[in-house]
Amino acid sequence: MEDPADHGELIGTRLRVATWNVWWRFGPWEQRQPLIIDELRRVDADVICLQEVWGAGGTSAADVIGDALGYERIYVGLLEMEPGVGFGNAVLSRWPIAGSDHRPLPAHGAPTELRNVVRADIDGPRGRLQVFSTHLNWRFDHSAVRQAQVETIAGFVQDSRPRAYPPIVCGDFNAVPSSDEIRTLTGERPVAHDLLLVDAWRHVHPTDPGFTWDNDNPFVASQLEQNRRLDYVFAGWFKAHGAGVPVSAELIGTEPDDGMHPSDHYGVVAELAY
């Protein structure tokens, strides 16, 4: 009988995936936007998932960033933060986006908390990828809503099968790794669905808290909240030859430029075997 732990010769090539909440048009957004572009250019990810993306007048922050980097993109907004200016999620890719879909997330009676999950079908050089970008409710007392939202996300991911490569799910989950919301996705809490995702940061840095909401950032310090890890790159369980296994992870957007951080959140970039 074959050893089920033997994946065979491991894949040596990599897929670089970034996720970042870019803080809509809050704060000095016109000064922050070029800093976001500069940081993403430095990171040089193959696929970028963005949250709190503004959309207005037929364009969006995803278009501005995509044009600057030469990336294809999709953006879907559900909520207007002010008249004519939307708020949503996006996926950008250096490779062709062959298709896309999205699904609204349950709001449970909170009309100002409309959220969604966006899927991009990306024709990468070593096979098609399914990449999901999402953003959950932010309020501390909305754990039950976030749990319903991750169940919806899990159903959407499973409904998107078949696929040859593990699904990639990224975003600002507004929940710490020990929460029921995250444990629902990582197989540590009994659930009805059969989706199992691997937290790239924890896989690579099991003892590093990896705070993405950090009081070293002045935009965060003013909120009087604890440091937390809220932003994640998840990958589905590994396939043959280790496809999808996280091999590196780092924070992005941590350094200010002339005293200004690009966003209130730090982002995450992870490399997956691909």
- Give CA–CA dist 236/196, Å, rounded: 6
What pLDDT, on the 0 to 100 scale, is given for residue 1? Answer: 34
Q: Is residue 150's pLDDT more than 70?
A: yes
Confidence of residue 10 (pLDDT cuts 50, 70, 90): confident
Q: Is residue 2's pLDDT more than 50?
A: no
What pLDDT, on the 0 to 100 scale, is given for residue 250? Answer: 98
Confidence of residue 114 (pLDDT cuts 50, 70, 90): confident
> Average of pLDDT values for 82-107?
96
Angle at 45 between CA 101 and CA 103, to 5 degrees: 15
Q: 56 vs 4, which has greater pLDDT? A: 56
What pLDDT, on the 0 to 100 scale, is given for residue 107? Answer: 87
Q: Is residue 192's pLDDT more than 80?
A: no
How many residues in total does the chain contain?
274
